[in-house]
Structure 1
């Protein structure tokens, strides 16, 4: 059974936590590890400092990519327009950058499915963080090619990530 946006919007905030909806189907999210949470927080804190007053960077922001069929995702970290902080749901046009931290069980979803969904929704930048068993994670950056409707490969980093777009930022993900 597929859930509609109207049905979903009638749910309480508490019943919306810990899930994503893809093509109208509810998918529970796995509980993140401490390493996963720390990576997300390091990214969010660095981005929030770097983006300036027009943008916010937060974890666990629900982004509605599509109404029919309903698709709501919760990127691990999202940079969104500050003036939309009270707008629900967050829409792709409010979002500049999302990051997904790949965890056991989410490999295909984060590497292929979500990248495709974010690109089709028009989100300009996507970062994928691959956790290493030991040492610093690998960070893959992508930039939307609007004509193709998909992401082009950007730079790949390990340890320290230093970029100028979409905003200048340096993040030491080796500080786990």
Structure 2
């Protein structure tokens, strides 16, 4: 399948799943996060929006998180392999709550992705970021930070992202 045709789909356990088109708010928020993480990651790490990540070969699972931080030397790899990924960020809407909070998280844990961020919007419209780090011993994500409006973290790199400017 061409890259253009793959843009709106993911593969979950070998089955093609159509992804809903992202809203303007979601796309802008993803771009702001990616730009900040791209700068913070220096020359070793890239951060981009809507990058295909191959989590497993059998059954085939390919996800397209809103933002992906991956090794800079893997830029020509398509799809990016999970072992090249440092962090995935999912922007959760009402439509994607189950995926962003449950399904995707378990797949990222199994793939060994070290950091997972979930961005949601409160009832008043304030963005809330929940950041998690993978504990290899328990094979589970542990909460690192919950930030309202402004994300300020030290992992995977020190960065401050003002999500209120969206």
Question: Does the alignment reach a TM-score above 0.5?
Answer: yes
Distance (whole Å) between structure 2 residues aligned to residue 134 and residue 86 of structure 1: 41
Distance (whole Å) between structure 2 residues aligned to residue 24 and residue 133 of structure 1: 36
Higher alpha-carbon Rg: 1
1:123 aligns with one of 92, 113, 116: 113
Secondary structure at 2:129 match in 1: strand
Counterpart for residue 25 of structure 1: 15
Is 2:56 aligned against 1:66?
yes
Distance (whole Å) between structure 1 residues aligned to residue 67 and residue 154 of structure 2: 18
Counterpart for residue 131 of structure 2: 141
Secondary structure at 1:72 match in 2: strand
5+ residue gaps, structure 2: none
**Equivalent residues, number:** 166
Using the size of structure 1 for normalisation, the TM-score is 0.91
Is 2:77 aligned against 1:87?
yes
Secondary structure at 1:46 match in 2: helix
Q: CA deviation at 1:88?
A: 2.0
Contact between 1:21 and 1:72, CA under 8 Å: does it hold in 2? yes
Is 2:33 aligned against 1:43?
yes
Contact between 1:100 and 1:128, CA under 8 Å: does it hold in 2? yes
Contact between 2:51 and 2:79, CA under 8 Å: does it hold in 1? no
CA RMSD of aligned residues (A): 1.0
Counterpart for residue 5 of structure 1: none
5+ residue gaps, structure 1: 1-10
Distance (whole Å) between structure 2 residues aligned to residue 111 and residue 14 of structure 1: 28
